[in-house]
Structure 1
Amino acid sequence: MMKSLIERLGLPHSHKSLHQATITGLPVELTSRLAEELGIDACVVAGWIGIAPEASLMTSAKGDAFCRLANLVDVLMSVLESDQAAATRWLTSPNIALGNVQPVSLLSTEVGGRAVRQVMLAIEYGLPV
């Protein structure tokens, strides 16, 4: 069985440990690992969560946004059968169910992340959005 994206990125497994790591500051290098999973440039992923690629640690807010992105990409890659290009396209294409905005643009807040997740789950289970 293939490891989850969270495991492949080297993020802590438990919510408590991930919370503590996020508060302490996740390494910006994680954006490179996620970019590799998607087959895109690390600067693109860093831009999605609003961090400078030359920084060493993410703020807790940026780390939180990164974790939302990583969790969403994990689900997306599963639903899209590991199609990197399709996952990137879905993240960056305006989505009618999200008010014609790019899903990735909503991940900076928990509420936006939940909206994106709701659309993603509807797609995954064939439900109306």
Structure 2
Amino acid sequence: MGLERYHPTTTHPVFGLPGTHILQLEARSLHDLTQQLEMGLLHETVTRLLMLLELTPVTFQQHIGLHLFNRRKNQRLTARASERVYRYACLFERAMQLTGTQEAARTWLKTPNAALGGETPLQYARTELGGQLVQHLITALEDGVVV
């Protein structure tokens, strides 16, 4: 099988890819998702995530380390900014799975955590590695590991 025929992971019809429901993306595979992120997310997608997280644009920009909101509403984010927004959508989704509700997920993400050196999960996820560590923390908590 040549690479031109390779299509990474097709989504489960009910669950979809992580973060895509939160951002209302219609990616059916990792390939589709990668293309959408490379093309850049729309301003309205970021605004939706901010509303769900109950964050101001300034606070969110501090978390992701990029200026997102000096663009016109019809402009797309860069691929780099889109990936960072996607990281936070995935974290929010995982936190909802852990806690059971959007409100509890927001609270958990915004509460300092000893396992993260006293930072909140949102603060700790500023980098890709930090985001992965928060994901691992969620998995540990789901598995009943006390951290």
Length-normalised TM-score, structure 1: 0.79
Aligned-partner SS, 1:120: helix
The Cα of 1:96 is off from its aligned counterpart by 0.8
How many residue pairs match? The answer is 126
**Which structure: larger Rg?**
2
Please tell me whether the aligned partners of residues 22 and 89 of structure 2 are also in contact (alpha carbons under 8 angstroms).
no
Task: Give, in whole Å, the separation in 1 of the partners of 2:139 and 2:55.
Answer: 27
From 53, 59, 65, give the equivalent of 2:78: 59
Instruction: Check 1:17–1:37 CA distance in 2 against 1; reply closer, same or farther (3 A cut).
Output: same
Q: Relative to total residues, which structure has the larger helix share, 1 or 2?
A: 1
* 1:120 paired to 2:138: yes
Unaligned ranges ≥5, structure 1: none
Please tell me whether the aligned partners of residues 22 and 49 of structure 2 are also in contact (alpha carbons under 8 angstroms).
no
84-93 vs 18-27, which moves further: 84-93
Task: Give, in whole Å, the separation in 1 of the partners of 2:97 and 2:41.
Answer: 24
* 1:76 paired to 2:95: yes
Unaligned ranges ≥5, structure 2: 1-13
Percent identical residues: 30
The Cα of 1:41 is off from its aligned counterpart by 4.7
From 24, 31, 36, give the equivalent of 2:46: 31
Query: What residue is the counterpart of 1:10 in the other structure?
Result: 24
The Cα of 1:112 is off from its aligned counterpart by 1.0
Task: Give, in whole Å, the separation in 2 of the partners of 1:44 and 1:70.
Answer: 17
Task: Give, in whole Å, the separation in 2 of the partners of 1:21 and 1:45.
Answer: 25
